[in-house]
Copies of this chain bind each other. A is one copy, B any other.
Amino acid sequence: MPKDEGIYVGVDLGGTKILAVAFDSKLKVLATEKAKTPRDAHASSVVAALTETVRRAIAASGKSSDLGGVGVSVPGPLDRAKGIVRFTPSMGFKDYKLGQELAGIFGVPTYLENDVQAGVYGELRAGALRGKQNAVGVFVGTGIGGGIVIDGKLYRGSTGSAGEVGHMILHEGGAACGCGNYGCLEALASRTAMAKDAIAQSATGKAPALYSLAGSDLRKCRSSVLYESIEAGDKGVKKAVDRAASWLGVGLANLVHLLNPEAIVVGGGVVTRFGQRFLERAIASMEAHLMPGLSGTAEILLSELGDLSVPTGAACLALEAAEAAR
């Protein structure tokens, strides 16, 4: 086949859904397929669902015979070089050789990547960070993850865990974080943090719409529910979301002080949902916390690829490995 006619599939293997996207060698999207992630915590069901979703994406691309490689993002610790998922209990993975198994199934090289790192890489190759040399990605969801770009490449650190922006402590002794610390960015600005704050507001009657939509169930406070509650006039929910944006700005200021990046891309469902207004509040807070000389040095950008950032980054791994091997 001609060199530039191959297709590359990037997969976002998430806790609730699997998203498989087939790209051509210019990273044009050819097909997108979704499935629910099996909830039985068995690796075999997860691998079967993943395989089936990838096959559907390949078939829908119309270029079934030209598969060049597969990249899969995983929401847990992994050994990239060996293609091993270290530990993702909700999927039944424990030191699981997922890369090798998938390479056997598809008959092409298969690469694994951490989900957040894949997302930052996707934005770097084909999104808001295109062409940047020094940058950071911050993804806000139930938690907050991130990745660091140095000299145009993902910076991994000494044991592969660089970029844990969500566990940067901004307010020691403040809100409790799932990591066991207090006052981490994630405990202050994630969707979970917004939901906790918003539910607390409903106790004083300032979030009636939220209460009717989600009660006091944190899991039901999805981005769309928070958004609808604000649209319905819930002042308490607006306050909670605004506060999270302000804390995000403190985190962005810390990143600028430390890394002096050209740009920081901010993404994730809740940010996408609230969009530019959310970002502007975060930027205003960041500027209020920057040393004078650093004001305006970093562009703060919304994710361009949205849900596609992770599969794009995952597919790029396979595409670039194929290019390097030629």
If A168-B258, A169-B250, A169-B289 touch, whether A133 touches B148 (CB-CB below 8 Å) is no
Q: How far is the CB of A149 from chain B (nearest CB, A)?
A: 11
Task: Give Cα distance in the complex from A104 to B148, angstroms.
Answer: 42
- Smallest distance from the beta carbon of A65 to chain B beta carbons, Å? 40
Q: A164 and B77 in contact (CB under 8 A), knowing A158-B134, A159-B297, A172-B250?
A: no
Contact A170 B172 (CB under 8 A): yes
For A162, give its contact among B159, B164, B165, B260 (CB under 8 Å): B260
Are A293 and B77 in contact, CB atoms less than 8 angstroms apart? Answer: yes
- The CB with the most chain B CB atoms within 10 A, among A156, A250, A259, A261, is that of A259
A179 proximity list for chain B (CB < 8 A)? 291
For the complex, give the distance between the alpha carbons of A259 and B157 in Å.
Answer: 6
Chain B residues contacting A133 (CB-CB under 8 Å) are: 158
Within A239-271, the residues touching B (CB, 8 Å) are 247, 250, 253-255, 257-262
Q: Which single member of B168, B171, B294 contacts A257 (CB below 8 Å)?
A: B168
The chain B residue sitting closest to A296, CB to CB, is B159
A163 located at the interface, meaning its Cβ lies under 8 Å from any Cβ of chain B in the complex: yes
A160 interface hit (Cβ, 8 Å): yes
Smallest distance from the beta carbon of A255 to chain B beta carbons, Å? Answer: 8
* A179 nearest CB neighbor, chain B only: B291
Majority DSSP secondary structure for residues of A touching B: loop
Residue A74, interface by CB 8 Å: no
Q: Verify if A150 is at the interface (C-beta below 8 Å from B).
A: yes
B260 engages A157 (CB within 8 Å): yes
> What residues of chain B lie closer than 8 Å to A106, measured between beta carbons?
none
Taking CB atoms, residues of chain B closer than 8 Å to A150 are 150-151, 155
Closest to A253 in B: B169
Which of the residues B172, B262, B293 comes within 8 Å of A161, measured between beta carbons? B293
CB of A84, distance to nearest CB on chain B (Å): 15
Considering the complex, which residues of chain A in the window 154-198 have a beta carbon less than 8 Å from any beta carbon of chain B?
155-165, 167-173, 179-181, 183
Q: Is A128 an interface residue (CB 8 A)?
A: no
Asked if A124 is at the interface of the complex by the 8 Å CB criterion, the answer is no
Provide the residues of chain B in CB contact with A118, threshold 8 Å: none
A297 B170 Cβ-Cβ under 8 A: no
Closest chain B residue, CB of each to CB of A246: B172
Annotate A59-77 by CB proximity to B: 1 below 8 A, 0 otherwise.
0000000000000000001
Chain A interface (Cβ < 8 Å from any Cβ of B): 77, 133-134, 148, 150-151, 155-165, 167-173, 179-181, 183, 247, 250, 253-255, 257-262, 289, 291, 293-294, 297-298
Given A134-B157, A159-B297, A258-B258, 14 new contacts (CB under 8 A): A150-B155, A155-B259, A158-B261, A158-B298, A160-B260, A163-B258, A164-B260, A168-B168, A169-B289, A171-B171, A171-B173, A181-B289, A254-B254, A258-B259
Please, could you name 13 A-B residue pairs with CB atoms under 8 Å apart, sorted by A?
A77-B293, A158-B260, A158-B298, A161-B260, A161-B293, A162-B259, A164-B294, A169-B253, A170-B172, A171-B171, A172-B250, A179-B291, A255-B258
